[in-house]
A and B are shown apart, each in its own frame.
Chain A
């Protein structure tokens, strides 16, 4: 069965430090991958997506992610974290079924120290 793994439940970084959030997926074909961010009590905001083409994807708020087929990974990165980046981050992949529903990771909670 398809799955998405976000190995880090919680990460704390200092403001200005670089960030990498890990995401691994299991899927036989080329996956459609997403990263979403959710601030406390809020809805989801799409950061970026990968469907095909360039494996380095640029998103909003200075985020980028790199699709690595050999590692089945789609890690999210940001060179310099801002305090406002503190939130929950979710990785998701489109399932292979007819309804193309999303398979979600459990999320990574990011805390930013001043």
Chain B
């Protein structure tokens, strides 16, 4: 149980295009999902917290107009990198928390490798 999928696993795009990454909780409902970015040999950096039906909360320094997050259902959150540039190339990871006040564990997706040419 508690499986999270991400799609696509890899994407290569041209500079200036937009890329959408999907994060799905396959066997549970997730009120809250998180989006992370990870550079090579570094730790995870939280980009934003996504709550179903409301606007995402972005971490300081993360451009909300650049990284659009939509959490339209209890099983799906999407991250859209708008007008991507080479510096946006990174490993993007989502996680989901099972709905419920006392749940503290996040379940992680396998990640999406974005390369912007």
Contact = CB atoms under 8 A, between A and B. Distances in A.
A104 B49 contact: no
Q: Is the interface of B mostly helix, strand, loop or mixed?
A: strand
B67 interface: no
Nearest to A97: B49
* A42, A49, A101 interface centre (most CB from chain B within 10 Å): A101
Interface string B103-117: 011101111010000
Task: For chain B, give the interface size range.
Answer: 20 to 34
Interface residues of A, number: 21
Given A49-B105, A51-B104, A109-B41, A43 B46 contact: no
Contacts of B46: 101-102
Nearest to B10: A41
Contacts of B44: 44, 90, 102, 104
Contacts of A46: 105, 108
Contact of A104 (B43, B97, B108, B109): B43
A74 to B, nearest CB: 14
A94 B104 contact: yes
Contacts of A51: 104
A102 B45 CA distance: 10
Nearest to A51: B104
A56 B33 CA distance: 29
Interface string A34-55: 1010000111101001010000
B57 A99 contact: yes
A13 interface: no
A57 interface: no
A43 B34 CA distance: 14
B93 interface: yes
B49 A43 contact: no
A110 to B, nearest CB: 13
Nearest to A45: B108
B75 interface: no
Given A104-B44, A107-B43, 19 more contacts: A32-B105, A34-B105, A43-B93, A43-B108, A43-B109, A43-B111, A44-B44, A44-B108, A46-B105, A46-B108, A90-B43, A99-B51, A101-B46, A102-B34, A102-B46, A104-B43, A105-B43, A106-B43, A107-B42
